[in-house]
Amino acid sequence: MTPVTLERDISTRIVDVTELLFGELGFRKTTVSDIARELKMSPANIYRFFDSKAEINSAVARRQLAEIENRVEQIEGSFDSASDQLRRSIATIYNLHTEQFAWRPKIHELLVTAYDERWEVVTSHTKTIGNSLVRIIGLGMSERKFAIGGADLTAILIQSACMQFCHPRLIAEAAQAPSPPIDQMIAFCLAGLTKKATELSVARLF
């Protein structure tokens, strides 16, 4: 095993253990000493691989968001129509966050904080999902199923319209108050894609 591979393996183990502790104690209560104790190493050794506790927090959040990105990428690579890909992508994002909220509330809390504080991993994640939506929408336009227009702007509009189904805090809040069902919102977006909504320009929108 090369030194680089060994370091990557240890970093992965640190994130594995941290994720478990976050799920039990919450990310605010879990300390670097807790992580080190669980791994039977010193806190100083943890800091050989991560500069700070905040960096470990981000690594755990990154893992959760990467799973969503991978699932959307798989949908994007399928042979489904653009409409089905878009519907399944938004539904998948919503379902994964909802499952996290229901079954791993302390990990969900980490993601809520990451979104609220605009961690870099969230910015990167939003851009990655946006790029997938751009490609899906572009496919729909090339199939002549969606109105021809700017796929980039259309993806921004879709992300904004479906924000309540893709933002961890809004998903948690929606559980407490009535809101449009996800199927209705996606149907609304798809209906808009077949009309002239995509002909809006960025200059006119902002």
- Per-residue pLDDT tens digits for 45-97: 999 999 999 999 999 999 999 999 999 999 999 999 999 999 999 999 999 99
Cβ 50 vs Cβ 14: under 8 Å: yes
pLDDT at 180: 81
Q: Do 1-50 and 62-205 have matching folds?
A: no
pLDDT at 200: 45
pLDDT at 204: 45
Query: d(Cα 59, Cα 179) in Å, to the nearest integer?
Result: 32
pLDDT at 203: 39
Packing angle between helix 120-142 and helix 105-116, nearest 10 degrees?
Answer: 90
pLDDT at 196: 54
Query: What letters, b where the CB count within 10 A reaches 16 and e where it falls short, cover 87-115?
Result: bbbbbebbebbbebbeebebbbbbbbbbb
pLDDT at 177: 66
pLDDT tens across the length of the chain (206 residues): 555 565 778 999 999 999 999 999 999 999 999 999 999 999 999 999 999 999 999 999 999 999 999 999 999 999 999 999 999 999 999 999 999 999 999 999 999 999 999 999 999 999 999 999 999 999 999 989 998 889 999 999 999 999 999 999 999 887 676 678 899 999 999 998 986 544 444 434 43
Residues 6+ apart with CB under 8 A from 58: 114, 119, 120, 121
Instruction: From residue 142, give the alpha-carbon distance in Å to each of 130, 136, 137, 198.
Output: 18, 10, 9, 13
The structural domains of the chain, with segments of one domain joined by +, span 1-50, 62-205
CATH number belonging to domain 62-205: 1.10.357
**Fold adopted by 1-50:** Arc Repressor Mutant, subunit A (1.10.10)
